[in-house]
Chains A and B, each alone.
Chain A
């Protein structure tokens, strides 16, 4: 059985509006990655893109969060197939 997502991880800002992805890795400055994890953005959690852009609006486990990380951290997601 094939996995429900494709195998190419992309930075979260590349998710198209209304598409979902699963976080597969967080990288960048450790203190920023630590903060993202404290906020509940961690490997395995599901993200839905609501409003893309440099500052993007995401739905993370049902809660909405806006993000602009300025390359200090990167959230890599595997887009889920519709």
Chain B
């Protein structure tokens, strides 16, 4: 099956074109760095017999001189060095038609890879409003490659592109690539001689390189990704040889690396001459400029950002309360139905307390997750995020970071894993490491169930300012900010002591404003909802069953089951004996309390209680927190199972919120208070409770040192933070 790579500058619509060609669901977004690793999809090319082609969507890059990890992915795929992928049989280069010259810079490099190449001149529909006219036929002849005009977001030109690709793959359009026809034909002859020598030597040493790779060794900085292809044993020799070559070239007036850009732009100027016409346009004071004047204003922009976030959290608590109550009722009803169909015993307990009590408690928070992702998707797709990154650079530069770190950190509010992966767009290694290590401090959606549970149960449902500001929403916003605020001193300390160095530069292109696409927003919300349900059905299900088993065994459940059956028989009578009913309820409660304290979980709770007591927690909370180290939301399922087992069966329909409010310790005092809830929330805001995140840090840093470091520093911070929160709130 032929493989075709899709490459282009950031924000040219690659992922939209990929989706249009493959009918796939690659994530699209209106800010740089949405795609940070290659994605593959399959498409059919006509006419019959249909040909199946594998399409590889590559991260956006301005050139093949890779500075960041995401750009390196594009170069590795095109050079055939990406493990598990063969070198592409053809390349589609997507160009932003409204900024042709700069986009052609990348094409000038891709053509030198000597692969069949096809140009998709995207955003074709916007040329008129930009006052630009392009003659695609003339451009195609001048560049020596087929050119197809497309507008991927509107599905314009997709059929033509498939047809052109089919011709390209069948060999009907062969590449015309003499060195003279390429931009590198304008490079000095002395440079080509040095490249030939380097390439020959490396080949003799068992390291054959493409000519383009050898060129990059001579042009790029020795710290660049292009040097990674050199075996360790040859690295010192290559660096020395390249140094000598550069000196020789400099003596002849060839200034590396600047001669490259100048030669390529000269080639571009020659190729587009006559094919592109621009009408004089007055872009001053456009609607976009006026928006930018306000949204990127030093103080108003910041105020707008904070207000926007605050409003989002307020509206989530308002909108989600109805569907949340509905799911809660449905889960309670289902548990009651199952309980009414089976006699008390281990199977019923497993289904009602373990499965429904655990998973049901987590699924209740699905509406909040869906609404949160709706807002995140809207912000990502409308073009606001890159403005926020620009604005934040002014503040982040104070602690030695740059606005480039802002987008991965914002992504981490949804989930730390894509956030950590998005750090690949950060060119400066020190900045990337600091961002990667503080990303898990951002309050991801897995923390939501914990926050919402505690806030709904223990923060009074009051409103202020004529009902516009709710206390619960304000507390949720505050707790979401805790991790971000703590990350500021942590980042400063890391930059000062662990990754010292000069402040990095910040260069970022801002995407255009646009109305968010409803399809993109719905797809993003759907993707997250499915992922949340999948986690509830896998990791949380297994943990719930394990926690149930630990809380159920060992112990003689016979008397408790008998008392439970009697209680249910009394309850089903038309005129039950109320005195007997009360006595049976008390008996069931006593048996359950005894059984859970004798269980493995109860014993573990006794062991852990002295450690968590300073945080205001009892053994049950300690166990639930311990069980949630693989994934944060497990705490809700664990508490659901523990309190379902430890209560009489009538409380299923009450939901976990009421069970927590009613929970009492052996001394009869309430287990939970506002101080306990704050302590739990602060602990979850700061703790590294996600195995997947730690594994991703390991993968991105290629070392176990950094996930261990993250785990230790975050858990220590969490314990100290929770203790401070409990001590402060207990006195308040």
Contacts and interface: CB of A to CB of B under 8 A. Distances in A.
**Centre residue among A32, A34, A35, A72 by max chain B CB count within 10 A:** A34
B566 interface: no
Contacts of A70: 502-505
Contacts of B394: 53-55
A57 B257 contact: no
Majority-rule SS of B interface residues: mixed
B510 A53 contact: no
B261 A42 contact: yes
Interface in B273-306: 281, 283-285, 288-289, 292-293, 296-298
B221 A51 contact: no
Interface in A37-82: 37-40, 42, 48, 50-51, 53-55, 57, 59, 61-70, 72-73
Given A18-B284, A42-B261, A54 B509 contact: no
Interface residues of A, number: 33
B509 A34 contact: no
Interface stretch (B60-68, B492-500, B545-553, B673-681): B60-68
Contacts of A57: 292, 296, 390, 510
Contacts, number: 110
Nearest to B109: A38
B86 interface: no
B50 interface: no
A68 B402 contact: yes
Contacts of A68: 393, 397, 402-403, 505-507
Contacts of B502: 70
A73 to B, nearest CB: 7
Contacts of A61: 99, 101-102
A63 B283 CA distance: 11
Interface string A7-20: 00000000000100
Given A33-B258, A48-B283, A68-B506, A38 B393 contact: no
A40 B105 CA distance: 9
A36 B389 CA distance: 19
Contacts of A65: 507-510
B552 to A, nearest CB: 58
B54 interface: no
A62 B261 contact: no
B75 to A, nearest CB: 14
A77 to B, nearest CB: 16
B532 to A, nearest CB: 35
Nearest to B99: A63
A40 B102 contact: yes
Given A51-B292, A51-B293, A69-B505, A34 B261 contact: yes
Interface string B239-256: 000000000000000011
Interface residues of B, number: 46
Contacts of A67: 505-507
Contacts of A66: 389-390, 393, 403, 506-508, 510
Given A30-B258, A31-B221, A65-B507, A40 B101 contact: yes
Interface in B48-77: 62-63, 65, 67
Contact of B506 (A37, A39, A55, A63): A55
B102 A39 contact: yes
B713 interface: no
Interface in B365-393: 389-390, 393
Nearest to B131: A62
A54 B394 CA distance: 8
B257 A51 contact: no
B166 interface: no
A48 B98 CA distance: 17
Nearest to B402: A68
B89 interface: no
Contacts of B63: 38
Contacts of A72: 505
B393 A34 contact: no
B260 interface: yes
B265 interface: yes
B130 interface: yes
Contact of A73 (B289, B296, B505): B505
B397 A55 contact: yes
Contacts of A33: 258
Given A30-B257, A61-B99, A42 B265 contact: yes
A36 B63 CA distance: 11
A61 B288 CA distance: 15
Question: Sorted from nearest, which 10 A-B pairs have the closest CB atoms?
Answer: A40-B102, A37-B261, A64-B510, A68-B506, A66-B390, A34-B257, A55-B393, A38-B63, A31-B221, A38-B62
Given A37-B265, A38-B105, A42-B261, 7 more contacts: A18-B285, A32-B505, A34-B260, A36-B507, A51-B296, A64-B510, A66-B507
Interface of B: 62-63, 65, 67, 98-99, 101-102, 105, 130, 221, 255-258, 260-262, 265, 281, 283-285, 288-289, 292-293, 296-298, 389-390, 393-394, 397, 402-403, 502-510
5 contacts: A34-B258, A59-B289, A61-B101, A66-B393, A69-B507
